Amino acid sequence: MYLFLILLVAILAYLSSTVSFVEDPSRFFPKENGKSNTAELFSRIRVKDKIIVLFTNKSDSSLDCRSIIGAATKFDSVLLSSRGNNLIKATHLKVDRSKSSEITDYIYNNLPIFLEENDYRRIDSLISTDSVRLFLSKGMASLLSPAGSAISSYFSKDPLGMATPLLASLRELQSGMQYNIVDDHLFSADNSTLLYIVDPLSSSNDIKRNGELLDLFDSLKVSLNEQYSGLEVEYMGAPFATVYNARQIKADTWVTMTIAMLLIIIVLWLAFRRFRDILLLLLPALFGALFSLAIISLFKDSVSAIAVGAGATVMGIALSYSIHIVSHMKHVNNVEQMLEELSYPLTIGSFTTIGAFAGLLFTNSSLLQDFGLFSSIALVGTTLFSLIFLPHMLRVGNGTERGDNVVMTLIDKITKYKYEKSGVLILLILLLFAIGLFFSPKVNFQSDMMAINYEPDVLKEAQKRYADKFGSTESKVLLLSANPDTDSALSDYRSCDSLLSVLKNEGKMIESSSVSRLLIPGGVQKERIERWNEYWSARKENLKNIIGRESVGIGFSGDAFNDFFAILDNNYSGFKLSQEREKLPELMGEWCELSDSTSLFITQLFIKNDSKKEVYDRLYEETNTVIVDRAHFAGLWATSVKDDFYFILTLCSLLVFFTLLISYGRFELAALAFLPMFVSWVIILGLMALLGIEFNIVNILLSTFIFGIGDDFSIFVLDGLQGEYARRSSILSSHKSAIFFSTFTVIVGMGVLIFAKHPALRSIALISTVGMIAVWFVALTVQPIVFRYFFTSHVRKGLPPYTLSGLLLMLLTFSVFVTGCIVAAIFISISVILPIPGRYKRAAFHKFLSVFSFLPVRLSPSVKIFRENPYKENFSKPAVIVANHQSFIDILMMLSLSPKVIMMTNSWVWKSPVFGHIVRYAGFLYYKDGVEAHIEQVRKMTQQGYSVIIFPEGTRSSDLKIHRFRKGAFYLAEKLSLDILPVVLYGNGHLVSKLQPFYVKHGIIGYRILPRITNSSFTNDGDYSIRGKQVCNYMRDEYQILRQRFDNTQNSYFYHSVILNYIYKGPVLEWYMRVKIKMERCYAVFDEIVPKEARITDIGCGYGPLCFMLGLLSEKRSILGIDYDKEKIEIAENSYMAGERIRFQQADALLFDLPESDVFILNDMLHYLPKESQRRLLERVSEKLATGGIVIVRDADKSDERKHIVTRMSEWFSIKVLKFNKANQDPCFIEREDVEKWASELGCSVDAMKNDKITSNTIYLLRKRGDE
């Protein structure tokens, strides 16, 4: 194992070394859905990679412009020397006038492609003789002026100024800049600051090379400051901003990780006091990080360094897994037990946590995707190491000797505290939850995305100085037109400019700069060249003659305008930008980026903030333009972040919940495990709103932490509560100790980020820490309260645990009931104003009650109803109707018997705000001060033909037996000369019991109307107690008959009641028992064989389903279940039906002192014993068999070879796959002849019957001879 681990680590280390780390903060920003990706296009703009250097004369300095130029020249020469030549592409210290002439030449060499139709209309006005003479005269005057040398070359090419408008438009390219030119150097308007621009060789994302360049700049700055006193050198630009961000993230990561690891190691050392334990705790997390990088290397060449740095916070979660394992070793006897108890919750917890982080892969931010990828894979590696390798390194009893460990003692006190019993804590959680519900919608999302970028003061000061000295108060925005096809991109570029012109003409306060007039699509070039040739074909020679004649007369030489004539005579063909990029002037590179994959063109837009929305909307609707505006689109990015947040939240929630649902197999447990996360999340949102903390693209990671680690807490607490519920184990205390360490490591791992200087990392710290604390307290408080209230407390009282289906059925029942009450109230309100006699209205109302009162029960899908009226009672004659009382359902059932019935009610029914008005309007009687006080009221109602319903027991029976009848009903019957009409009710107490009135179960319910009993039938004059006793005994006999008919396995109540012993104890166990009991037909065969009154010992009882079914079907059966599997006995004896009458004992039946029993059951257990042990067990059983007793053996008959194949497969599945049955050897199946032989030797007779038609299982009934 260790050799394999070393080899695996070596492979992972090698793969990890191949991963390159990208330190690009722009990966924070979300990708836009739609036509283009702004971030991707923006990254291709070379102009953003420029570095601006400012040489400033301090206010108290005597430096002049010449000195500043000298300093800048030295700076430039060093940069271009060997120190910087591999880092610098170009520098721009002086204004390069040659670039202007380069653009001019470009225009004149390709003049036809730039001329539009309005230019030709203008040319028409220029080529007349008078216009030519005027232009030439003005030209001569200009040439003779001091500036003549500057315009001579332009004038010879274009004496008529055909290209003048085009050349004038070039001035727009410098829009927004305020500057002076001093000795060909660019200075601010006040000549205090020189502007120097550097083009780095690498893009902004190349952290390494730009870092070297920044270091070179810093050293040059120090050198110049020493040489030039009073000189301030500042620089800024995206390359340096990226370097500053990356360096700060690195520094913060190392600092915070160091602090976190020191704190964690110190506390773990103080708690465990073993260096070996500390190493074991750290190994899984380190392995997980290595595993993650190695796996990433197989799919990606690079990963965000920022994501990996932030991913270090996940190491707190990774540590929690190893802490669970190492700390749990203190509570177990061996490693196998530890794995058995922890594997399931650890696997579920890790899976949901991994899923929560994997949800980040579906966001629009590359950095969040990398974070989610690194974190989720790291947790996969951590989990695998913790479950596969770590157990081999553990020692039994790890750290059990604590000595006088003060820290561990303190931690034990913290973890053993009963948080669920703290009224103050519960009240605080409820208060914070209520506040959270109210304030959570008010949490905002940070609109300034750049606020999470790190900007040092030197960078901020340089940006401010640049804005003050050269900038504009308007916002400069970049409009990008991009397309793989150059002509299409150019078409979009020109459409954008055309729209901007329209908007400006409409009065929008905008200015723009672009070179769209200088970049013409191929198709347009062809059209314009054809227009040029067509235009000049009939005019060219005439113009030449005019210019030749007029120029000589003014004083020009005959060849003065040969350059212009060459332009007219040139044979133009145009060119394709995508293929002939070299024809573009160098200055045009600032406005376009051409590559084999994409052509991109830039427009600069200067716009006021209040005009942005309308202008941007038009641009989006009418052009294919991508807008790059940090200030405006921060809000849109924030919206994207918000969408990502809700997406992550929803995805994490659904993933965690459905994983919990599948894992636990019960909606109730999944909801309970999810509850702490939900409550904590609401509390966190409320606190964020109150404290003014905003969400941003980084701290939305909080949702993954809450649902990632929070579900771990919930799962382990729930696992402990299940252990307490199912086996009365104390595993919860072990889990609480591990949860403490997990919480501590996660809080430290995230809390130390408060020391980070980078805003992106620091924004995680506070709210994540508060969130983890909230999850911890809620998990340890809310979960135990809810679990114990709905499940454990009821089972301890001998009642079934609540189920969601039962509560929903009750909700359905009560909803229909309340709806009926509302309809009745409306009926009453309307009837009051109707001019109809009261008796008719009351009769109609009683008809309504008889029809609708039982509707809530009839609509329940879990109920089957029978109605028996064998004596054809029609209630035409008033009587005192007496019925047994088990449930409030009895009232609804009795009211449905006839419209001509009323009922005596107690105080709470009479005064009920829900149905009190109904019973009062219906004429029901308020029972108080004894029956004697109501004689006349009853007489009045009976005279109207109404019978009176009375439950003579006086209260509901909690044990479903018919208890002593009170005499009131019989006194009333005699005084009013009324018959007694007994009605026996069955099953209502099964459906809704007195002890669980808000829980609807399954089953059969109904009633049987017995014959009337007249007063003359009683022989005891005036003794109403004896009359009550006689009627009570009569009804008990009839009730027993109903029980004999319906208390059987066909009644779904018994199946579901037995199943309720196994819910919340694991999905596999629950569904195994459901299938098994169904396949056993609810043990109907055993119920038929076993007497209703007997002492029963079930040997090999397993989880006890047969014991529970037999005990439930007859309360006179006393049952002992025996099994050597301790876990099964723990499950069985901690079931709600276990008690004095149904007991369980973990023992070896061959050694256990068996009690004398009327029935011994050996159900599917003999084959787990060797053959000789099987006979010995039968011998021991026969010795303890009571007179008249029976031994029931069910086992396979291997002589039935065809059917025995199915039996063997069934046993293999049960033992090897599901592992419900433990076997120390292969099953030893016997034949029927073996049982008959052993029975004969033991003096018993044998009756055999086949158990089913599929398997070889056979039932043997053994009775002692002489008892038959």
258 or 151, which is more confident: 258
Beta strands in 111-262 (DSSP E): 180-182, 185-187, 193-200, 231-236
Tens digit of pLDDT for each residue in 807-829?
Answer: 888 888 888 888 888 888 888 88
The region of weakest confidence among 79-83, 225-229, 482-486, 569-573 is 79-83
Select from 809, 691, 881, 764 the least CA-distant residue to 253.
Answer: 764
The pLDDT, as a whole number, for residue 1215 is 77
1223 — alpha (psi -120 to 50), left (phi > 0) or beta? Answer: beta
| Model pTM score | 0.74
Beta strands in 735-874 (DSSP E): 863-868
Burial of 672 (0-12, 13-18, 19+ CB in 10 A): buried
**With 90 as the cut, is the pLDDT of residue 909 above it?**
no
The pLDDT, as a whole number, for residue 191 is 86
Pairwise CA distance, residues 969 & 952, whole Å = 6
Tell me if residue 779 falls in helix, strand or coil: helix
For residue 1169, the Cα-to-chain-centroid distance in whole angstroms is 50
Select from 697, 847, 721, 863 the least CA-distant residue to 779.
Answer: 721
For the chain, give the percent of residues with pLDDT over 70. Answer: 89
Query: Average pLDDT, whole number, for the chain?
Result: 84
* pLDDT-derived band at 402, boundaries 50, 70, 90: very low
* 469 contacts 189 by C-beta, under 8 angstroms: yes
How many beta carbons lie within 10 A of that of residue 733, not counting itself?
A: 14
Helix axes 701-727, 315-328, angle to 10 degrees: 20
Count of positions (residues) in the chain:
1268
Helix axes 486-505, 612-622, angle to 10 degrees: 140
Tens digit of pLDDT for each residue in 242-271?
Answer: 888 888 877 887 888 788 888 888 887 887
Number of H helices and number of E strands within the chain?
Answer: 48, 27
1006 — alpha (psi -120 to 50), left (phi > 0) or beta? Answer: left
The pLDDT, as a whole number, for residue 403 is 46
The pLDDT, as a whole number, for residue 89 is 84
* 863 contacts 892 by C-beta, under 8 angstroms: no
Q: What per-residue string of b and e applies to 909-937 under the rule 16 or more CB within 10 Å gives b? A: bbeeeebbebbbbbbbbbbeeebeebeee
Pairwise CA distance, residues 380 & 392, whole Å = 19
* Backbone dihedral angles phi then psi of residue 836, each to the nearest 5 degrees: -125, 140
Select from 992, 768, 978 the least CA-distant residue to 860.
Answer: 992
Burial of 556 (0-12, 13-18, 19+ CB in 10 A): buried
Structural domains of the chain, with CATH: 51-94+184-236 (3.30.70.1320), 102-173+471-606 (no CATH), 245-439+636-796 (no CATH), 804-1046 (3.40.1130), 1062-1264 (3.40.50.150)
**With 70 as the cut, is the pLDDT of residue 1218 above it?**
no
Pairwise CA distance, residues 743 & 749, whole Å = 10
The whole-number average pLDDT for the span 464-485 is: 76
Q: Name the helix (H) or strand (E) containing 310.
A: helix 305-311
Q: What per-residue string of b and e applies to 112-134 under the rule 16 or more CB within 10 Å gives b? A: bbbbeeebeebbeeebeeeebbe
Select from 1147, 1075, 1161 the least CA-distant residue to 1117.
Answer: 1161
**With 80 as the cut, is the pLDDT of residue 533 above it?**
yes
**With 50 as the cut, is the pLDDT of residue 935 above it?**
yes
For the chain, give the percent of residues with pLDDT over 90. Answer: 27
* 678 contacts 429 by C-beta, under 8 angstroms: no
Alpha-helix residue ranges (DSSP H) falling in 1213-1253: 1232-1241
Q: Give 983's strand partners.
A: 883, 1009
Contacts of 1192 (CB under 8 A, 6+ apart): 1086, 1089, 1090, 1159, 1160, 1161, 1162, 1163, 1259, 1260, 1261, 1262
The pLDDT, as a whole number, for residue 401 is 46
